[in-house]
Structure 1
Amino acid sequence: MTAPRVLLVYPAEGGSRLKDAFETAGCRVQQVATATEALATLSTERWDCLVSEFELPGDDGLALRSAVRQLDPELPFILFTASDAIEESVVDAEYDSYVRKNGAASVDRLVSEVTATQPTAALTASQQDVSSAEPSPDELVRTMDTAPIGISLSNPSLTDYPLVYVNDAWEELTGYEAADLLGRNPRLLQGPNTDPETVDRLSEAIANEEPVSVEIRNYRRDGKPFWNELTIAPIYDDGGDLLYYVGFQIDVTDRREAEQLATERAETLESERRTLRRVLDRVNGLLREVSGVLVESTERREIEHRVCETIAAEEGYLGGWIGTVSSDGTDLRLSATKGLPTEIPETVPIAALPAAVGDAVDTDACHLCSVDDAEAEPEGQSETGLDPSTVGGRRLLVVPLCDDERRYGVLGVYGIDAAALDTREQELFDSLGKMIANGLHAVETTRILTTDDVTELRIEIRDPSFRLAQIAAVIGSPVERCGTTTTASGDYELYLTTDAADAVDSTEAGDAVDAVDTPEAAATVDVDPEALISLSFIQAARVVSKTDSELTLSVTMAQLPPDDELAAFGAVVTDTTATADGGTLTVEAPPEQDVRPLLETLQSQYDTVDLRAKTERERREQRPTEFRAVVDEHLTERQTAALEAAHLNDYFESPRPVDGETIAETMDITRQTFHQHLRAAERKLVAAYVDA
């Protein structure tokens, strides 16, 4: 019968063992090293089976399998690999067979898989007469002497079963010469870390004249330990009397060390999983509790105190504090604390605090310090009571409470042990800080919009770098901000008006056709949107509408200064005008808000900032504000955006200067979606008016 032909695709190093195993099983084998060679061989010769390693030079085993199926859909394909990463892919791809490589036994399984793909008759090799080729006694002895594994004989008829024969491999394995070994019991290889239970198993098997295989820790002549895979079996004469015990020794140190390393890695991974689970359980509970605080609380002070209480109550954390930074960045004023066993001053110089506090303030990123830090403490730090050692914790994580450009201070969290507040927890606390900042922003904004009394500030900024001043310079006319919307991507779209008679004719009418919807409007455009886009902070610009007296523009920005900075103080910009030299802001702030830090924030950004007027008054137009609050309760965020965009683009004017598609593009939605949002908003607006 013809032996099955096996194409073995395996790197040059390491394939000989597999090839020998297949040939012993009666197969004819050709080995190639790459997928490219395999495909070339398949295209010119017929094969009964293909065996491939997954990790090949160039294309891997998965890619080879796909190519083989193009050439020969019926050819049995067997993947042989130790890789864990491809197991799911193999299942999905429905391989003919898949054998995991994990030791000598896996080679036997691979051979079985190959033979299983072939007809039984194909594996039946013709039997030859070998009676004239039997080895002589001398040849048998020479074979034993030169065998690649250690072989020994012990004589049970002599006292203490001494060794009477060892081969060359046994000498090389143990470091002993035969002259030093013969006449001595092989237990001389045992040492201080040899397992007594394994020794007892050997002794019991020898006493019962039974074969036994063990892995035992032995020692070479130089004292170096090694793992010995030892097999001992009794040998009898023709009369059934015990003659010798034969021993086979194989050095399996590398395998045992690899297994030990794998076990240690598995234990480390399991420990990591347990730690991660504890972290997730702890932080998820914290996120859940803090979310509840932000939903239920209506005042900033309440939020700050309840957040600190929540942290102190969570397992693994000692306590926490929240503080705000002075306008000059030198002091930290604590507004809430919980779980700290010492009296803490209300205001502390940042220079006297752990360095993590100043780093978090400067970088708007989480920073950690520990009692194990080798760095020297800043002078006076031990008196502040905020360093971990003074509080009684092991670690302090300082979390900035900021969202975009709005900053609401920093949060300090103390971990009880050295494992708390690791890198994963720090990432989660970073998200928690942003979530708290959003909650504080919502509370501050709601407060200023609903309070009866406000402080109205009129602030003059004399600086050509003021963004609206730069826009006024480009179009050659003063501008006034008349509204703001946000896009789906989170950018800001500002609507500005200017005197059409003063605007500079910076383009031919035809150049601005894309900025408006009708040829008639395009013919009257006096401002080039491309000139505005040349300003680095403007992403897009267009002309919304133009009358004989007024021109309305739209510009899109990623950030909205100074609104974002002032929002941190609970202040809202209600009106802005600008010329090429600067601008004037009208700002509403809570009556208790100290205006000095607000002005200092602006002064840090612009050349000259002056407070021209400060008025304490009741909020104007209270009833419309209340009516809007009612409407806002019913409108979704997208419906509100659609309504505002339609109004600011003069969609409700007749004739309309823009159509729905143009407005939809500014909102990054389809025309149909815009109209759906707008119609829903109109229905709710009318219903609120009728019911008011």
Structure 2
Amino acid sequence: MSSGDTVDIERRLTELEALCRPPTSDGSATDRIQGVCDAIVEFLANGDAAAAVYLYDERRDVLCRRAGSPHRKTWDATMSLERTATPVWQAFVERDPVFVADLLPRPARPVQNPDHARGTVAPIGSHGIVLAGTTEKERPTRLSHSFTRLVGTTAGTVLDRIDDERRVDDCKRQLEASTVASERLVATNALHHDVGRTIRTAWTRADLEERVCKRIVTDERYAFARIAEIDEVTEQVCDRVQAGIEKGYLESLESDADTLADDGEPMATTIRTLETHTVSHLLGDDTGERWRRDAITRGYRSAIGVPLVFRERCYGGLVVYSDRAAAFDGMDEEVFFELGAAVAHAINALEAKTALVSRGGVELEFRVRDQEFQFLEWARETGCTFEFETVVSRPDGSIHGFFTIDGAPTETILELASQSPAVTKTHLVTERDGKQLFECTFTEDSVVAQLLEYGVVPRSISTSRAAARLVVALPESTSVRLFVDVFSRLYPDSELIRRQDHEYVARTPYGFLAELECKLTAKQLEALETAFVSGYFEVPRDATGADVAAILDISQPTFNNHLRLAQRKLLSMVFSERAFRGT
């Protein structure tokens, strides 16, 4: 071996050592791979030598040129893998280096003797191929061919390492994303749990709304939460409750609902459309609207609004603001929409419960001739009179009621009830003064359930052949005009014939009945009210303990226990109140 060969070998080994050094971690994996390809060509294309690197493009199923030495003949941009008996196929697919007589514009004419070859096609692992050789003058030496194969093997190892690092980085990013998603899921589940507990324990709508907003802003992702509604008379957005960092934002808002909705303000928009409204980038989107500028000034970067809707009745909207851009994704939209529906359901239940014990508000009387009005059909078909007695809310959320029939056989009424969409589980409780007392469960389609949805309590329902007479009590929070409009749409052939406003002596915040309901369990209250309505306390009794127990679907000893505890709590309240008053 001559001294020149020794120097050449030392130089090539130095170049190979440089190639084997770990590529810098700066930049993307794509940039690092390109750097390796450029280095391979620089190492191999010395003097008259030519070199190129082709890497596999999985999407296109071809080898694409990533680097190549300049030459009079141009390297092909891609090399197809459709033909199997080619040097490219043998080197890349079979991983066997190939000596070729022609190198440009693509390797061709494989040869067995390296002394007759103009170049070498060597695999770069599973990544691609490297081409190196000469196109004129002297042919490459056997050492050059060997070095090309060695460079290909080494480059494959380097690219494997880059791929491994890329996969590790991807795993790290996925782990970080999974950790963030897991933390968000835990926080979301905690929010759901706490709001559910609030719904179960709140006694008034105001208490419920305040506690929900306060709980939302305890999550560091959310800066401010508010619940508002649109006043039906003034068409203004009226805030009911808010919590978190407000910074005077509400004072700066235009209050006209239509103007705000046209500008895409979350609260007005979600109430008007009854759909979720998300603003992911307050700062990045058009900041022309005043509400958006005011929100940005106070540090808000995204917001989500959801309607509070239960059975087509809207109780306003809930809007949550975050100081982070894009804080609400698809999962958040679904979560908050469900939360809004749950809050609306709870508001409906609270208003219905409040209405059942309410003594104030407005009393309205309607005359109804509409054929769709339930129970009127019974009177017209049988000639009987129907009288609504009372309604009882059961612990499972169902609505049970009692009604009296005069002038029709029991079997006829039971047959009509079995065909009516308004009632289920109808049965005779007792007969009193020639009239039959029935107990039933009112369905969601019944007029009783529809009234309670609006916080309106039926005080009296009576029917004859001519018409039905309905007397309802509206709490002070319910709009008379809105309710009359709704009722008229439900029953077009009806008219309001009387309105009476009631004024009552001031009393404790929840009143005697609310206090009684607070002291009694749901089952004790149900037992007491059902016993009273069914005639258990009449002399002589219209219903026995066994009869009432059967109505409640419990054993008689259980009924007796519930009733005894309820009576004791009721009497203690009555006599304690008398003692307090000195009477």
Return the TM-score normalized by structure 1. 0.52
1:284: which partner in 2? 190
1:344: which partner in 2? 253
> What is the distance in 2 between the residues matched to 1:296 and 1:491?
19
Structure 1 spans left out of the alignment, 5+ residues: 1-167, 192-215, 224-244, 506-524
TM-fit CA distance, 1:470: 3.7
> What is the distance in 2 between the residues matched to 1:371 and 1:540?
50
Q: Which amino acid in the other structure matches residue 476 of structure 1? A: G
TM-fit CA distance, 1:545: 1.8
Q: Does 1:585 align with 2:470?
A: yes
Contact 2:428 2:438 in 1 (8 A): yes
1:144-293 alignment, distance < 5 Å: 172-174=93-95, 176-178=97-99, 219-221=128-130, 264=170, 267-268=173-174, 271-281=177-187, 284=190, 288=194
What secondary structure is seen at the aligned counterpart in 1 of 2:289?
A: helix
1:603: which partner in 2? 488
TM-fit CA distance, 1:691: 4.3
TM-fit CA distance, 1:598: 2.0
2:77: which partner in 1? none
Indicate how the Cα distance of structure 1 residues 335 and 566 shifts in structure 2: closer, same or farther if over 3 A, else same.
farther
> What is the distance in 1 between the residues matched to 2:288 and 2:560?
61
Contact 1:408 1:437 in 2 (8 A): yes
Contact 2:97 2:122 in 1 (8 A): no
**In the alignment, which of 525, 539, 545 is matched to residue 430 of structure 2?**
545
Q: Which amino acid in the other structure matches residue 527 of structure 1? A: T
**In the alignment, which of 279, 287, 291 is matched to residue 370 of structure 1?**
279
Indicate how the Cα distance of structure 1 residues 494 and 289 shifts in structure 2: closer, same or farther if over 3 A, else same.
closer
> What is the distance in 1 between the residues matched to 2:493 and 2:469?
12
Q: Does 1:535 align with 2:420?
A: yes
- 1:362-398 deviations in whole A, cap 9, x for unaligned? 886x61333569xx99xx9935659988987554432
Q: Which amino acid in the other structure matches residue 181 of structure 2? A: T
Indicate how the Cα distance of structure 1 residues 388 and 561 shifts in structure 2: closer, same or farther if over 3 A, else same.
farther
Q: Does 1:316 align with 2:316?
A: no
Q: Which amino acid in the other structure matches residue 279 of structure 2? A: S
Q: Does 1:644 align with 2:565?
A: no
Contact 1:474 1:532 in 2 (8 A): no
Q: Which amino acid in the other structure matches residue 633 of structure 1? A: C
TM-fit CA distance, 1:657: 5.7
Contact 1:400 1:410 in 2 (8 A): yes
> What is the distance in 1 between the residues matched to 2:525 and 2:569?
11
> What is the distance in 2 between the residues matched to 1:222 and 1:473?
99
TM-fit CA distance, 1:577: 2.4
> What is the distance in 1 between the residues matched to 2:551 and 2:366?
31
> What is the distance in 2 between the residues matched to 1:359 and 1:578?
43
Contact 1:286 1:314 in 2 (8 A): no
Q: Does 1:464 align with 2:371?
A: yes
- 1:534-587 deviations in whole A, cap 9, x for unaligned? 122322222222234322122322327555555566543322223456533333
TM-fit CA distance, 1:495: 0.8
> What is the distance in 2 between the residues matched to 1:565 and 1:328?
23
Q: Which amino acid in the other structure matches residue 97 of structure 2? A: Y
- What percentage of residue pairs aligned between the two structures are identical? 22
What secondary structure is seen at the aligned counterpart in 2 of 1:220?
A: strand
Contact 1:456 1:587 in 2 (8 A): yes
- 1:287-328 deviations in whole A, cap 9, x for unaligned? 64896699688673x765675566456422243332324559
TM-fit CA distance, 1:418: 4.8
Q: Which amino acid in the other structure matches residue 412 of structure 1? A: V
> What is the distance in 2 between the residues matched to 1:248 and 1:222?
13
Indicate how the Cα distance of structure 1 residues 411 and 278 shifts in structure 2: closer, same or farther if over 3 A, else same.
same
1:481: which partner in 2? 388
Contact 1:175 1:222 in 2 (8 A): no
What secondary structure is seen at the aligned counterpart in 2 of 1:316?
A: coil
Indicate how the Cα distance of structure 1 residues 335 and 345 shifts in structure 2: closer, same or farther if over 3 A, else same.
farther
- 1:86-107 deviations in whole A, cap 9, x for unaligned? xxxxxxxxxxxxxxxxxxxxxx
Contact 1:395 1:417 in 2 (8 A): yes
Contact 2:271 2:317 in 1 (8 A): yes
2:398: which partner in 1? 491
Indicate how the Cα distance of structure 1 residues 347 and 489 shifts in structure 2: closer, same or farther if over 3 A, else same.
same
2:315: which partner in 1? 408
Return the TM-score normalized by structure 2. 0.60
What secondary structure is seen at the aligned counterpart in 2 of 1:346?
A: coil
Contact 1:455 1:616 in 2 (8 A): yes
2:60: which partner in 1? none
Contact 1:481 1:497 in 2 (8 A): yes
Q: Which amino acid in the other structure matches residue 402 of structure 2? A: Y
Contact 2:96 2:123 in 1 (8 A): no
Contact 1:645 1:663 in 2 (8 A): yes
